[in-house]
Structure 1
C-alpha cells in the first residue's frame, strides 16, 4: 500500500517565506521616516537646555502625551529661564516645585494646535485666516473646580464660561498673550504698548508676556516648540485679580469696587450637571455652583472666553476693565450715587449695571490708541492713560487698568442724572430707560433743560406702572376711565418728551425772570412749543385746561444743563386747532375774525367739532392767519369771494367756484408736518394742505431767524407775509397759530 504524500509540508515553508517578505515590505513602506523629528518631549531632551522643564513635564504627567502623536504649540522655558525663576521664588532647584505648580507651568505653556511664528499673528476665524489679527492663543490650562468661602459658606464653584451664561462642553481654558511685530504693525502699535505693561523689559518683536522667544519654530513630530527665557504661570482672570486684591484687606486698592460688583451683580447657582461631573471626577458629592455675573454687564469678568461669536475670536481680542481705586470711588459713591439714596444697597440694579459698564470695554484697550475705544455704554474713555492709570496688567482674559479717577460717565453728570439717581423720580426714569430719551438727555455734549415731574405728581394725575402686568396705566382723574399698555405709555412719553428742551445757548438759564416761547425735544427730533413767563410754563394742554406749571425748589445744575422741578405736567390737548382759531377770533377786536368767518362757513370746517378737513390731531402744523386787513385785500384782489370794489367779504357764497376759492385759500395757509416759529429752527420750503389743479402738492417758503418770521409764495415772488409778533405763537395741538400782515398768493 502506497503512502499518500502530504503537500502541505512543502507549502508551509513557502508561505512563511512569502509572509516574511511581505512584512518587510509593509514595515518599510509604513516605517517612521528617518527625516521626521522626534516628538516634543524627546526633542526637548535632544536640545539639551530644557532639563528643568522636562522634569516638570514628567512631574505633571505629560511625558506620555508629549511623546506621542499630536498637534501642539509649546512655549518651552529654557534652563536659563528656570534659573531666574528659582532665584525669584527663593528655591534651590526644580525638585522644590510641587506637582500642582508643575502642572500649571506645563499646561499653560501648551497651546492647542501647532503654530509657526508667522502663523501666531494670524486669526483663525470661521471664514478663514485673517492675517496679522491675533495676539493670543488658547492653552491647555483651566482652573476647573474651586473651593471658596462665599458669604461665610464653603462652596465648590466653577466660573461662568460665557457672558451671562455657561456652556457645558467648555472648560474655560485660559489664554496666553504674546507680542509680534506683524500684529503691532497691523494695529499701529509699537514698543510703547509693550513697555507700558512691562517697564524696563526689552521688546524683541516676539515676546511671551514680558519674556522673549529665543528660538522659534523648533519642529517636532507632534508640534512646534518656541524656546522662551521666561517661566510663566497662568495669570489670573480679571475677576480673580480683583478677588486677590480684595484679600489684601487694608492694603487693597480696589476692594470697594470689588465689593460693589460681587454684592450686587454676582449670583451663585447650583447646577446638577456640573455637580454630577464633579462627583465622577473626584468621587465627592458636594454641590457645585456656577458663579454668574449679571447678564446686563458688557462681559463676565470670570469668563476666559471672549465673545464666542466665533469659536476662536479669543485669539484676536480680549476684555478690558478699568477699576477706580478706593480713594477715587469712595467720594464718587458718597457725593454722586448717594446724593439722594441712603445707602448703596438701596440703589436700583440698573445703576450698578451702568456704573460697571462704564468701566468695561469689550476690547483689549492698547494704551497708545486708548482714545479709539468706547466702553460698555458706548462712551469714549475719559481717562488720561499717561496720568490716571496707577496699575496695568495683562491677565488671562484681558487687560486690567487701575485708575485714580472714576469714568465720568454721561449717566452720572447729565440732566438725566437728576431723575436716574433720585428715588422720587422712578416713573420718569423707567420711561426714559425704555426709550431713546435716556441716550438723548444723558449726552453731555448737548445742552438741555429737563422739567422733571415726581412720582407723587404723576400718580396724582393718573399715571403709574403696574409691576405685576409690566405695563403702564393711565386713569383719567376726571372720568375714572383707564387705559393701559401702549396707549398709556404713549401718552406719558409725549408729556415727558415735551418736558425736555434743547438749550444750546442756555436759553432757559434765567427762566424765573424772563419770558418767551421755545420748542421742546431734541434739535433733530422736535417736540412741541411751550411758553414761559417768570418761572411759569404753559403748554397747549395747560392753556386748554386753564392751568399753569410752576417751577418749585432749587434747580439741579448738571454738566449738560439744568433740571427744574415742576408742580404740574406738560399736558397736551386733544382740541382741534379750529377751536383754537375760533377762540382767538372771538376775542374783542380780534384780527383773526375775518379769516375765521371764512373758515367756519367753508367746506373744510366741522362746526360741531372744530376739526379742519385734512388736519389730524397729533401731527405738526403751522397755521398762517392773514389779519382782517389782509383778508379785505384778498377780497379786493378777487382771491376771496366778496365785493372787490369795497373789499367786503362774502362768507357764505353759493357759487361753487367761490366756495372752492375759500377752501383753497384756507388750505394754502396751513403748513403740514412743520411747526415754524420766530426762532430760526424751521426754514426752507414746506408743504401746504392745498393741492393744485392736478392734485400735486403746493409749497410755501419759510424764512425764520430770532425775532423774525416771513412766509413767501413759491409761485409769486412778490407775495409774502410777515408774522405779527404780539398776536402770533399761539399754542395748539402740535401746532402754532400765527397772525400775519398779508395773504400769500398761489398761481397755478
Structure 2
C-alpha cells in the first residue's frame, strides 16, 4: 500500500513539472504586430503635421505618458493652426510664446482615457449616444494672490484682517474642453444655427465635429494608447463665466454686473498648504459664492467649473448666462423703473433685492439663450425672460457655460410686477410676509393677469377689526416698550399683535413677548388674522377709481372705489369713512396703491346688519328668529345663521316688511308672531316653512350691483334630494350698477332689488326686495 501511494505522488509531481515548464508560448504569436499604430506621441511624429504641438509637449511633462502608456485623448492643433495662432497673437516665432502659455494650452488639449466620436458623447455610466459634449482636461488654474483692496465688493469685506490672500483659484476644479457632434446636438435639440450663433464666423454642417470654434480635420486617429483629433485652431483654456466679465476686450463694460455678483462671494480659509514653488507652508484661501434662489442668492456659481446640481452634470450640461452692460444698468436705474423709485445705486440695494434682480440672467442650460429657444427663454426660476437677439453685444462659450452680453436690463417678475413695491419697501414687510405665507406671491408675479394691491404698511395695522370675530380688534406692535429688547419687525420674523375687545380673557399681546419662545398657537392665530386682513387688500383685476363701483377682493369681500381716489370696504362703509390713494406705482401687471388706511372688511354678521335696518327688515328678522335660524355668539349681540357656511360668500335678497306681509297673506308662511301659540306638530311645520322661506332668499354667490357678475346661481333652498345630493333652486341673474333681477329658472318667477342695496355683512351682501321669492 505504501508503495502505491509513493508511486501516485511521483506521478502528480511529474505532471506539475510538465505543466509549468512544458507549455511555453510562441514568442512570435504574442509579439507586437508590425502594423500596430504607435503611441500618441510617435503617431503625431509620423503624421508630420504636428511639429509645433510636439515642441509644445516637449516643454511639459506629458511626452513620457504619451509615449509609454496610459489611455488618453488628444486634441492636437496642426502646424497650420499654430502658425495662425502665432500670427494672431503677435509671436514672431514659436520660441516667443511664453512657456506658461505653452503649458496651459497643452494641458487643455489632453483628456484622460481614449474616446472615439461615439463614446465621447456617453455620460458617465450611461452608454447612450448623444448625452455629453464635454470632458475634463488636465488644466487646473494655479493659485493666485489677491490684494484686499481689490475685493471691496465681496460679502463682509470689512472683516478681512489681511492685506494679501493666496487664493486656490481653481477651487480644485479642472477646466473642460467642449465639442459638438451631430449625435449630441440632435439629442438635445441644439440647432446648427445655434452653434453658428455661439461661435461667430463659424458654420456647423452635417457630419462636422467642432471643438469650441475649431474644426476637427481628422477624427478618431487610433494610437496604441489613445485617440487623436486634429484641430485647425489652437484652443487655450477658456475663462469661466465669472472670469469673462473682466475680459480685457470688453474694456470693463461689465464691471457693475461683476460687482453685484461679487456681493455674494466670501473668502474662506482652506488652512495651510505647501507652496509647490517655495516648498513652504502657506495659508490658502478660497472664493465661495452663496447660491440658492430660495434664499435670494445666486442661482448658480458662475465661478465654478463644475455643473453641480443634485448630481454632477458637468460632462453633459453647461449654464446660460446673460450680462447687462454698465450703460444698460445705469439707464435702467435712472429711468422709470420700479427699482429706480427706491434706490439711487445698485450698491444701496439689500442683498436679497440684488439676488432677485440677478435671477433673470441665469439659465439652467446654454441653449436657453440660443436662437432656437427665442420666446421660451426661461431662467433658473422658470421666469420667462424677454430676451431678444438684437439685445446681444458680446458672446463667448466659456469653460462652464455660454456668456452673452446684452445692452438692456430684463425686468424681474418680482420687481417688474405688482410684487415689486412689497419686495423693495421694508415698510410693507408684514403684508409681504402674509402674501408669501398664503403662497400667492408667484401668482401675483404673473404677467398674463392684472391685479390691484391696496398697500398696507406695517404701522397701519392699528385698531383693525379681527375678520374672524364679532368683537375683537387688533393692533400690530411695531415699536413698543413691551416688546423684547432690540426687536426689529423686519429682522425678527415674529409679528406681535395686541388684541382688544375679546369677550373672554383674551385681551393681551400675541405671542407673549415675555415668553422664552413664541407659542405656536399664538403665532398661528396672528398669522391667520393678518393673512385674512391682507387678502382684503388684493383684487384680481384693475380698479377704476372713477367708476363708483364694487370690486371683489381675494378675501371674497368687496371694496367700493369712487371719487377717483377713494376706496371703502364693508366696514368702512358702515363707519362712514374711506381710504385715499397716497401714491400710485404702475407695474407690468397692475397698479400698486399706497393707501391712507387699511380697507376694513365688514364689521358685523347678517343679523346685526338687519337689526341696524330693522325699520325695513324687522318682519324678516322675525321669520329667521321664529325658524330658529340664528346661533348666539358668546360675548356679542351679533348672531350667526345656522344654514350658511361662511367659508363661502352669499347674497340675501331680503324681503322688506311689506313683502313678508304679502307672503303671510298668500298663505306661504304663517305669521311668525303666532308660532309659539301653535301645538307641537303645527309649530314644527310652521318653523320648517319659515326656514325654507328664508333659505329661498339666499343665493350662493356674492352679488353687489356691479353690472358685471351675471350667470345662473343656486339658492339655499332645495325641494328634493337625488342620489343623496340636494337639488337647489336655480336663479338667473341680470346685474346692473343700480339693480339686480333674479329669475327662477324653473318657474320663471322674478324679483328685482328696490330700496336698500349693497349692505355688506360678513360674507353676505344684502339687498332689499319689495316682493318675496316664490
TM-score range (shorter-chain normalised) is: 0.7 to 0.9
Q: CA deviation at 1:195?
A: 2.7
Is the contact made by 1:614 and 1:689 (CA closer than 8 Å) also made in structure 2?
Answer: no
Q: Distance in 2 between matches of 1:324 and 1:59?
A: 41
Contact 2:273–2:281, Cα closer than 8 Å, also in 1:
no
Structure 1's 691 and 130: CA in aligned 2 closer, same or farther, altered over 3 A? farther
Q: Contact 1:702–1:710 (CA<8 Å) still a contact in 2?
A: no
2:702 pairs with one of 642, 651, 675: 675
Mapping of residues 361-400 of structure 1, within 5 Å: 361-364=363-366, 365-385=369-389, 387-400=390-403
Once the two structures are TM-superposed, the CA of residue 125 in structure 1 deviates from its matched residue by 6.4
SS at match of 1:487: helix
1:594 paired residue number: 619
Distance 1:579 1:91, change over 3 A: same
Whether the 8 Å contact between 1:40 and 1:223 is mirrored in structure 2 is yes
Corresponding residue SS for 1:493:
helix
Q: Where in structure 2 are the equivalents of 1:306-325 lying within 5 Å?
A: 306-311=307-312, 313-325=313-325
Q: In the superposition, relative to structure 1, how do residues 366 and 571 fare at CA in structure 2: closer, same or farther (>3 Å)? A: same
**3-state SS in 1 of match to 2:282:** coil
C-alpha distance in structure 2 between counterparts of 1:517 and 1:651, whole Å? 40
Q: RMSD across aligned C-alpha pairs, in angstroms?
A: 3.5
Residue 100 of structure 2 aligns to a residue in which SS? Answer: helix
Residue segments in structure 1 that go unaligned for 5+ positions in a row: 1-13, 162-170, 643-647
Deviations 1:276-317 (A, max 9, x none): 587999643223233323432211111112243333x23333
Distance in 1 (CA, whole Å) between partners of 2:116 and 2:421 is: 57
Residue in structure 1 matched with residue 81 of structure 2 by the alignment: 81
Aligned residue in 2 for 1:167: none
C-alpha separation in 1, matches of 2:31 and 2:310 = 43
Instruction: Tell me the CA shift for residue 48 of structure 1.
Output: 2.4
CA contact (8 A) 1:279 1:286 kept: no
Instruction: Give CA deviations for 1:398-437 in whole Å, capped at 9, x if unaligned.
Output: 1111111111333333333233333443433344455434
Aligned to 2:10: none
Name the CA distance, whole Å, in 1 between partners of 2:274 and 2:255. Answer: 33
Equivalent runs, 1:453-472 vs 2, <5 Å: 453-458=456-461, 461-462=475-476, 464=478, 466=489, 470-472=493-495
* TM-score normalised by structure 1 residue count: 0.83
Could you tell me how far 1:146 is from its partner in structure 2? 3.1
Alignment of 1:495-534 (within 5 A): 495-503=533-541, 506-508=542-544, 511=545, 513-521=546-554, 527-534=556-563
Who is 2:629 aligned against?
A: 604
Q: Can you list the C-alpha shifts for 1:148-185, whole angstroms capped at 9, x where unaligned?
A: 23435321224696xxxxxxxxx322222223333444
Q: Mapping of 1:657-736 within 5 angstroms?
A: 657-672=685-700, 674-677=701-704, 678-681=706-709, 683-686=711-714, 688=716, 692=720, 696-704=725-733, 707=736, 709-713=740-744, 716-724=746-754, 727-736=756-765
Q: 1:483 aligns with which of 505, 510, 517?
A: 510
| CA gap 1:91/1:271 in 2 versus in 1, 3 angstroms | same
Compute the displacement of 1:529 (Å).
Answer: 1.0
Give the whole-Å Cα distance in 2 for the aligned partners of 1:241 and 1:374.
Answer: 23
Corresponding residue to 1:149 among 135, 147, 150: 147
Count of matched residue positions in the alignment of Structure 1 and Structure 2 = 692
Matched, 1:266 2:294: no
Residues 275-314 of structure 1: pairs in structure 2 closer than 5 A: 275-276=272-273, 283-295=280-292, 296-311=297-312, 313-314=313-314
Give the CA deviation at 1:213.
Answer: 0.5
Gaps of 5+ in 2: 1-14, 151-162, 464-474, 479-487, 512-522
What is the match of residue 445 of structure 2? Answer: 442
- 2:360 aligned partner: 358
Aligned 8 A contact 1:266 1:294 in 2: no
State the partner residue of 1:221.
224
- Give the alignment's TM-score, normalised by structure 2: 0.80
TM-fit CA distance, 1:705: 5.8
Q: 1:418 aligns with which of 421, 426, 430?
A: 421
Alignment match, 1:192: 193
Which of 328, 345, 348 lines up with 1:346 in the alignment? 348
1:382 Cα deviation (Å)?
1.6
Deviation at 1:662, TM superposition (A): 1.8
On the 8 A contact 1:594/1:627 being kept in 2, the answer is: yes
Matches of residues 59-98 of structure 1 in structure 2 within 5 Å? 59-98=59-98
Q: Does 1:537 align with 2:567?
A: yes
Distance 1:157 1:574, change over 3 A: farther
1:138 to 128, 136, 139: 136
Structure 2 counterpart SS, 1:527 = coil
